[in-house]
Structure 1
Amino acid sequence: MTPWNQVYHPLNNLWISALVAAIPIISFILLLTVMKLKGYIAGAYSMVIAALVAIFLYKMPIILVIMAAFYGIIAGIWPVASIVFAAIFLYKITVKTGKFKIIENSISFITSDQRLQVLIVAFSFGAFLEGAAGFGAPVAITAAILVGLGFSPVYAASLCLIANIAGGAFGAMGIPVTVPSILTGLDSLMVGRYTAMVIPAISILVAFLLIGIIDGWKGMKQTFPAILVSSMSFAFTQAVVLYFVGAALADIFAAIVSLIALALFLQVWQPKEIYRIKEEGDSQKKSYSFGSIAYAWLPFIFLTIIVTLFNLSIVKDLFSPGGPLEKLVFLLPIPFLNNNVIKLPPIVPVETPYPAVFKFDLFSSTTTAILITIIVACFLFKCSKQLLGETLTETAKELFSPVLTICSVLAFAYICTYSGMSSTLGLAFASTGNIFPLFSPVLGWLGVFLTGSVVNSGSLFAPLQAVTASQIGIISEKMVAVNVMGGTMAKMISPQSIAVAAAAVGLSGQESKLFNITIKYSILLLVLIGIISWLLF
């Protein structure tokens, strides 16, 4: 097949061409917000619209459009959807075997002050679940726990949505960083390092914000030492892991360290005034031995260890090109598409073939690490075949629509990327010059508001951010990091996240209450990210 050169000015005018290139994105926005279609339906329609624009205006060969969409779909299945499925399956096993009840109970015994319980449950434990699963599960789980501890449903859901900011940028083993990095051909470790300049500091702010929402300035004063221990240990660990290891373990390590640090600190210090919403329920009266608690936590501890091993460079090198196990990583060139799209200046210095190679790392992926943990958990908890079958069916039903959404959005994004539409928009944004970093986070914020996922937002807008950055002389990894950070600020107002939180606490149909509470914090933090981006980057 004859290689096809990308076109960046299909209508011979940059801004008119950019307006055309924005048609699929604008359509996606309208389908979600005005027509209120489900995510996967809006994604499918937008994929078709993107294909039509690519074929008729960008003159992209039909076979290339089809294969770009196909590439996006399989990339959505592996690794994104596979990680989410495996992680939620693991969580459900702990619930069905009764071990998660012990985990929940162990948290409530650390302190009877419910302000500090929010730090333990919503802030630290929520970040742990975000790191392991993501995609709405952490908010649903932690909100349900807070309701069990005595918080009102609206309060519990709102606090957990806001707390999710601390870990939202690195959920589901860091895929909000790694997926857009792969999509744009950038170094995911470098993208994570740039987020480390801002997100840990935001995490500290979020910890204080949570206590302030519950009990105002008085609450922050009374619990100030505990907030510092929790947030500083979290932020420091998060920054170190991001810089030296990568995004995959940032949430898990930060959450574990902050949980341990706060638990130990509360053994020697408690606030003079214990804040209670209501008396403790029955769920808190039963005590468990240390052995029972450790046993319940064992799968998550094992998961942390094995994911850490999988992410060590010495292990990664085994599966890298030239390594002894490289043949266990299957590289599948996408037919017709691989190297048949040519990127042109000024997007690249010289004409460059655009690779399209699907990486199926079955023996070294995060999904595999979670699957191994599931096997260990099934052995430890003596799970029956019936329980596993029920859990598998239940997980598949619950995740069917989210997986379709992931795949349709990635298909839409890959068409925009390989056709050159994202490059057209990037060139247009580049003409705004040095002011671009100020509103760069808005793109990530908008993407998460619409799709409910920092991963999907990155798939939509990371290529645009990278192209724009290169055009105005900024390191591309910086703007992709800004896209992640801006998107994280929208997780608390995403209709998908709010719907999950509302359903978890029995507030279905009352999502507007949660939105009205969280919107002001989301906008304030977005403005803060924009200013930081402008000043630092």
Structure 2
Amino acid sequence: MYQQVLDPVGHSLAWSSLVAAIPILLLFVLLGVLRITAWVASLISLAVAIAVAVLVYGMPIGQTLLAATEGAAFGFFPILWIVINAIWVYQLTVETGHFDVLRRSFSRVSDDQRIQAVLIAFSFGALLEALAGFGTPVAVTSVMLMALGFRPLKAAVLALVANTAPVAFGAMATPILTLAKVTELPADTLGAMVGRQTPLLSVVVPLALVAIVDGRRGVKETWLPALVCGVVFGLGQFATSNFISVPLADVVAALLSAGAVVLLVRVWKPRQTYTEPAVVAGGAADAPTPEFADRVAHPDSRADVVRAYAPYAIIIAVFVVCQISAVKKLLDKATVKFEWPGIDVVSPSGKPLSLNEFTLNLLTTPGTQMLFAGVLTMIALRLTVPRAVKAYGTTLHQLRWAIVTVMAVLALAFVMNLSGQTITLGTWMAAAGGLFALLSPILGWLGVAVTGSDTSANSLFGALQVTAANQAGLSDVLMAASNSSGGVLGKMISPQNLAIAAAAVGMDGKEGDIFRRVVLWSLVFLALLCILSALQASPVLSWMVPS
């Protein structure tokens, strides 16, 4: 048995935190400064994390390596299992030509790329986040944007930056439900508190998207649809999470925001339309051609348009049906839980860790549901089995380096988590006393940056947030919620999501370029949320915290 140690370096929490941070800091330096390919950077950082676990924390080498294998397995299932099948559904639409019909349809709503970015990356991405979560929105919306003529790098950056405000309520509020479980606080109360934080981000994010597309001119000319989208989304998210249903918060907000923008552009047009010529660098989609523009002017048949939207309607229908309690309970019978062989780790207090247990949710995972949606898409698009299998092979080839990266990053995360490196960092930050209200979102941000998952970050630090809040005399609901809200901002710099975005737009090996374009947005949004959390912990905004 291995018992975690919080302060292995000179019995100093500060020095131990400095050493514990080395693997993740190294990963970001390799990606953002030295521009090393993500899968190579991930493997190097994994090796360093293993060395720290064994040489500094004293974790047995055998258990350390087994922790890495558990993380790699989790990286493939459920995370990569979702992404692979999501990209496969997209490949089916490309194979049949219906994706061209879809992008022409979007172009007829608005041919301004700034508005398209808001509609697709933010609203449609939020709907995908609500239903599937994990890397699905980034994978799907980035290729949709590129198909509409966005440059690969810009498409990836837009998809990552947009995938923020909806994340806390993603996959039918799985992060919040997990947070409630580990903190023993009511899920409805936590959801209501998160619903009083992330909607403020929703107002800002669409404005950031139009700025990414077209700089200051983009904000000046299209601030109205961006603001309408953000405000409607924020109000929908707040109202649904506080008064209707926490799991449905993103579904309602996404549909309302998309509808508001579509209605607005029917009566309002930007002063001038913005488009740019696409430069495709080995991606999955082609730049719009003159024939494409001609087809936009002369619409496709209604039957073709229906079939083009069918895959996404099928995805939504499958996920909604699978969320019905009776269906979910039936599917859950195929779930298998077991202790990962050879791992016997307890917390510093001697309690067993939930990380020792591996859950194989064969039918309830969004990946399997996405696979089923893909089969139905085959039927709807009249695609033969050989062509569908060929498309699946194309998907696996496209994602080959992303698969290595995600599995390596999750292996690194599990080594850091099980050895105690992550909890050392969290405990050190939790010792900040009253200042912790300002730092609380950073803890969630760090957890998601390491693991790529708000759910995982809540599992890691949720209970710690409550303990720190009680010690500092702060609201435990506020601090726990700030962990989840802050975590959503780490998603865009998480190596696994960078790898997914790079693979989707055909920029394998250029994850560092994407990282440098998104890291500033991540830090700016995080600073805003830290200030909000501190104000909500003070008399200024304490009225926003549910009693």
Identify if the C-alpha distance between structure 1 residues 57 and 220 changes in structure 2 by more than 3 Å, giving closer, same or farther. Answer: closer
**Cα drift, residue 60 of structure 1:** 2.5
Between the aligned partners of 1:24 and 1:213, the Cα distance in structure 2 is 30
Q: Do the aligned partners of 1:76 and 1:410 also contact (CA within 8 Å) in 2? A: yes
Identify if the C-alpha distance between structure 1 residues 516 and 283 changes in structure 2 by more than 3 Å, giving closer, same or farther. Answer: farther
2:49 is the counterpart of 1:43: no
Between the aligned partners of 1:401 and 1:483, the Cα distance in structure 2 is 29
**Cα drift, residue 84 of structure 1:** 0.8
Larger displacement relative to structure 2 (69-78 or 237-246): 237-246
- Alignment-derived partner of residue 177 in structure 1: 175
Which of residues 459, 464, 468 in structure 2 aligns to 1:471? 468
**Cα drift, residue 357 of structure 1:** 1.9
2:59 is the counterpart of 1:67: no
Between the aligned partners of 1:156 and 1:4, the Cα distance in structure 2 is 45
Residues 476-533 of structure 1, C-alpha deviations (whole Å, 9 max, x = no match): 63243044233146589x96588569757xx998986x88876654443232122112
Q: Could you tell me which amino acid in structure 1 is paired with residue 376 of structure 2?
A: V
Q: Could you tell me which amino acid in structure 2 is paired with residue 343 of structure 1?
A: S
Q: Do the aligned partners of 1:489 and 1:525 also contact (CA within 8 Å) in 2? A: no
**Cα drift, residue 371 of structure 1:** 1.4
Identify if the C-alpha distance between structure 1 residues 314 and 206 changes in structure 2 by more than 3 Å, giving closer, same or farther. Answer: same
Q: Could you tell me which amino acid in structure 1 is paired with residue 336 of structure 2?
A: F
Residues 335-359 of structure 1, C-alpha deviations (whole Å, 9 max, x = no match): 232xx322244xxxxx422242211
Identify if the C-alpha distance between structure 1 residues 24 and 175 changes in structure 2 by more than 3 Å, giving closer, same or farther. Answer: farther
Between the aligned partners of 1:299 and 1:196, the Cα distance in structure 2 is 30
Residues 100-136 of structure 1, C-alpha deviations (whole Å, 9 max, x = no match): 2222112222245665444334432344455655374
SS of 1:330's equivalent in the other structure is strand
Alignment of 1:367-378 (within 5 A): 367-378=367-378
- Alignment-derived partner of residue 334 in structure 2: 328
Q: Do the aligned partners of 2:137 and 2:163 also contact (CA within 8 Å) in 1? A: no
Between the aligned partners of 1:213 and 1:57, the Cα distance in structure 2 is 43
Between the aligned partners of 1:300 and 1:32, the Cα distance in structure 2 is 34
Identify if the C-alpha distance between structure 1 residues 413 and 155 changes in structure 2 by more than 3 Å, giving closer, same or farther. Answer: closer
Q: Do the aligned partners of 1:441 and 1:485 also contact (CA within 8 Å) in 2? A: no
Q: Could you tell me which amino acid in structure 1 is paired with residue 346 of structure 2?
A: I
Identify if the C-alpha distance between structure 1 residues 414 and 184 changes in structure 2 by more than 3 Å, giving closer, same or farther. Answer: farther
Q: Could you tell me which amino acid in structure 1 is paired with residue 339 of structure 2?
A: P
Residues 194-247 of structure 1, C-alpha deviations (whole Å, 9 max, x = no match): 543322322222234445677899987876765555334433444456666666
Identify if the C-alpha distance between structure 1 residues 226 and 360 changes in structure 2 by more than 3 Å, giving closer, same or farther. Answer: same
Between the aligned partners of 1:125 and 1:78, the Cα distance in structure 2 is 24
Alignment of 1:89-488 (within 5 A): 89-111=88-110, 115-128=114-127, 134=136, 136-138=138-140, 140-147=142-149, 162-167=161-166, 173=171, 177=175, 194-211=193-210, 226-227=225-226, 229-239=228-238, 251=250, 253-267=252-266, 269-271=267-269, 273=271, 275=273, 281-316=293-328, 318=329, 327-337=333-343, 340-345=344-349, 351-355=350-354, 356-442=356-442, 454-455=452-453, 463=460, 466-467=463-464, 469-473=466-470, 474-475=476-477, 477-488=480-491
Identify if the C-alpha distance between structure 1 residues 213 and 289 changes in structure 2 by more than 3 Å, giving closer, same or farther. Answer: same
Between the aligned partners of 1:436 and 1:447, the Cα distance in structure 2 is 16
- Alignment-derived partner of residue 280 in structure 2: none
Q: Do the aligned partners of 1:183 and 1:459 also contact (CA within 8 Å) in 2? A: no
Between the aligned partners of 1:264 and 1:401, the Cα distance in structure 2 is 41
Q: Do the aligned partners of 1:444 and 1:458 also contact (CA within 8 Å) in 2? A: no
Q: Could you tell me which amino acid in structure 1 is paired with residue 323 of structure 2?
A: N
Q: Could you tell me which amino acid in structure 1 is paired with residue 43 of structure 2?
A: A
Identify if the C-alpha distance between structure 1 residues 188 and 252 changes in structure 2 by more than 3 Å, giving closer, same or farther. Answer: farther
- Alignment-derived partner of residue 322 in structure 1: none
Residues 238-262 of structure 1, C-alpha deviations (whole Å, 9 max, x = no match): 4456666666x76555433433343
SS of 1:364's equivalent in the other structure is coil
Residues 266-291 of structure 1, C-alpha deviations (whole Å, 9 max, x = no match): 44x23485645599932412313444
Identify if the C-alpha distance between structure 1 residues 70 and 135 changes in structure 2 by more than 3 Å, giving closer, same or farther. Answer: farther
Between the aligned partners of 1:5 and 1:508, the Cα distance in structure 2 is 38
**Cα drift, residue 188 of structure 1:** 11
Between the aligned partners of 1:54 and 1:508, the Cα distance in structure 2 is 28
SS of 1:331's equivalent in the other structure is strand
Between the aligned partners of 1:395 and 1:272, the Cα distance in structure 2 is 37
TM-score normalised to structure 2 length: 0.77
Identify if the C-alpha distance between structure 1 residues 58 and 112 changes in structure 2 by more than 3 Å, giving closer, same or farther. Answer: closer
2:542 is the counterpart of 1:536: no
SS of 1:336's equivalent in the other structure is coil
Q: Do the aligned partners of 1:465 and 1:479 also contact (CA within 8 Å) in 2? A: no
Residues 396-439 of structure 1, C-alpha deviations (whole Å, 9 max, x = no match): 11222222222222222222222222222222222222223424
Between the aligned partners of 2:91 and 2:126, the Cα distance in structure 1 is 18
Q: Give the alignment's Cα RMSD to 1 decimal.
A: 4.2
Q: Could you tell me which amino acid in structure 1 is paired with residue 13 of structure 2?
A: L
Q: Do the aligned partners of 1:440 and 1:482 also contact (CA within 8 Å) in 2? A: no
Residues 16-73 of structure 1, C-alpha deviations (whole Å, 9 max, x = no match): 3333333333443444345543333333333333333333332323333233222212
SS of 1:383's equivalent in the other structure is coil
Q: Could you tell me which amino acid in structure 2 is paired with residue 463 of structure 1?
A: L
Identify if the C-alpha distance between structure 1 residues 335 and 519 changes in structure 2 by more than 3 Å, giving closer, same or farther. Answer: closer
Larger displacement relative to structure 2 (301-310 or 132-141): 132-141
Between the aligned partners of 2:337 and 2:510, the Cα distance in structure 1 is 46
Identify if the C-alpha distance between structure 1 residues 60 and 256 changes in structure 2 by more than 3 Å, giving closer, same or farther. Answer: same
SS of 2:352's equivalent in the other structure is strand
Question: Aligned residues: percent identity?
Answer: 28
Q: Which runs of 5+ in 1 are unaligned?
A: 320-324, 346-350
Aligned residues: 509
Between the aligned partners of 1:465 and 1:385, the Cα distance in structure 2 is 45
Q: Could you tell me which amino acid in structure 2 is paired with residue 372 of structure 1?
A: F
TM-score normalised to structure 1 length: 0.78
Q: Could you tell me which amino acid in structure 1 is paired with residue 337 of structure 2?
A: L
Identify if the C-alpha distance between structure 1 residues 70 and 261 changes in structure 2 by more than 3 Å, giving closer, same or farther. Answer: same
Identify if the C-alpha distance between structure 1 residues 335 and 503 changes in structure 2 by more than 3 Å, giving closer, same or farther. Answer: closer
Between the aligned partners of 1:252 and 1:521, the Cα distance in structure 2 is 25
Q: Do the aligned partners of 1:169 and 1:177 also contact (CA within 8 Å) in 2? A: yes
Between the aligned partners of 1:326 and 1:161, the Cα distance in structure 2 is 31
Identify if the C-alpha distance between structure 1 residues 178 and 83 changes in structure 2 by more than 3 Å, giving closer, same or farther. Answer: farther
Q: Do the aligned partners of 1:139 and 1:164 also contact (CA within 8 Å) in 2? A: no
Larger displacement relative to structure 2 (12-21 or 409-418): 12-21
Q: Do the aligned partners of 1:334 and 1:357 also contact (CA within 8 Å) in 2? A: yes
SS of 2:109's equivalent in the other structure is coil
Between the aligned partners of 1:525 and 1:126, the Cα distance in structure 2 is 19
Between the aligned partners of 2:41 and 2:153, the Cα distance in structure 1 is 29
Q: Do the aligned partners of 1:309 and 1:315 also contact (CA within 8 Å) in 2? A: yes
- Alignment-derived partner of residue 348 in structure 1: none
